[in-house]
Structure 1
Amino acid sequence: MKTTFKKLAMPAVATASALALVACGAPADDTATDETMADETSVAQEPGTIVAVAQGNDDFSTLVTAVTAAELGETLSGEGPFTVFAPTNAAFEKLPEGTLETLTAPEGKEQLTSILTYHVVEGAIDAATLTNAIESNDGSYEIATVNGGSLTATIQDGNVVLTDAAGGTSTVTATDVAASNGMIHVIDTVLMPG
């Protein structure tokens, strides 16, 4: 049975990962006003877009380069909401040698766009919602991605594991990184649409 996520309204809760992306240095002197301190606090509690969060984390520098090459930055900075299963730099390093260079070249843009949009789902889906969906569907949940393909989510050894169309798997290693236009879940392997 194929099930797709419905758009969910999620509260804007800053996670520790998102807070680490905002530089909140101490004021140069002790004459900072209460208003200035209130402004700094409100900035720290409101994460940026999915792209801004990724740009602020060195572990996603390869993903940011790929999103830029595919010209998806504006889309993923849009209203959303989106859920992104974001591969780390180490995940991209698992690709066969030369693959990333080929994909980020102008002639690889269409394939790169297909791969990247395969990691994106409509709606802000938090870890609890995803886990409940897996458990309520006999341990396997099909997720429709924005590129038209699907991922299969299961739980193995207490972790959510995504299986792609090619039969490859990726483990979710961190969850619920909040963004102003959705949610990021960190994965350890790049998923392939086919």
Structure 2
Amino acid sequence: MKNTCIKIIPFLVVVGLIFSCTGSSTSQESGSDATTDDLKEAGQAFIEDDESVPNVLQIAIGSPDHTTLVAAVQAADLENALVNAGPLMVFAPTNAAFDALPAGTVEDLLKPENKETLATILKHHVTAGNYDKEFLKNFDKLGQADDTNVTVEVKGDDVFIGGAKIIASIKGGNGIVHVVDKVILPEE
């Protein structure tokens, strides 16, 4: 038994050295200074892929009319939620829609102490599903990601979600972005 232990211990030391050398050379070869914490924080929202259809978050990030929405999503730490497999319908208010809120509202919501309130408001703009504007005309209300409902109204060819008019729609890899002209606030 003693001979077996004496033979195994050096073997384990050599195996340990091989694995530790392999791990350090991999990070040096990649030229990355990223720590494990950096990688955890990035998540799938930050994986770049030139071949697939952009997801709903990438669509918003690429739109010059949605910089306020993107800043709000980042402040609420919801990036990874918007890149999930879905399907997701995101009702994306334009910068002008955020500008129409009372003065100071957006700045106040972007403060770290209001992160939970901001996340609730943003979740009120997300619904499970992948329905185009025409199909949305079949609904009276939709269940939102914040566990509340929002009304759907049809006026002629226009569709309103919670009072916000859909002004454009863009299909994404994990759902659809419906651009709206108003911030949809949860009813109290």
With normalisation by structure 1, the TM-score equals 0.68
- Whichever of the two has the greater Rg, that structure is 2
**2: CA distance between counterparts of 1:110 and 1:172?**
26
- Asked if 1:78 corresponds to 2:84, the answer is yes
What per-residue deviation string (whole Å, max 9, x for no partner) do you get for residues 99-127 of structure 1?
00111100111110000000000111112
Q: Distance in 1 between matches of 2:108 and 2:155?
A: 33
- 2:130 & 2:161 partners in 1: Cα distance? 17
Give the CA RMSD over aligned residues: 1.3
After TM superposition, which residue ranges in structure 1, 4 or more long, deviate above 6 angstroms?
A: none
Match of 1:54 in 2: 60
Separation in 1, partners of 2:133, 2:182: 18
| TM-score, structure 2 as length reference | 0.70
Q: Unaligned 5+ residue runs, structure 1? A: 1-41, 135-140, 164-168
Q: Report whether the alignment pairs 1:111 with 2:110.
A: no
Aligned to 1:143: 142
State the distance in 2 between where 1:106 and 1:154 align: 34
In the TM superposition, what is the alpha-carbon distance from 1:52 to its structure 2 partner? 0.6
Corresponding residue for residue 90 of structure 1: 96
Shift, 1:158, TM fit? 2.2
- Relative contact order, CA 8 A, sep 6+: which one is greater? 1
Structure 2: which 5+ runs fail to align?
Answer: 1-49
Identity of aligned residues (%): 37
Secondary structure of the structure 2 residue equivalent to 1:85: strand
1:190 is aligned to 183
Q: Offset of 1:78 from its aligned partner?
A: 1.4
**Matched length:** 138
| Structure 1 residue 146 displacement after superposition | 0.9
Structure number with higher helix proportion: 2
- Alignment correspondent of 1:172: 166
2: CA distance, partners of 1:125 / 1:52:
19
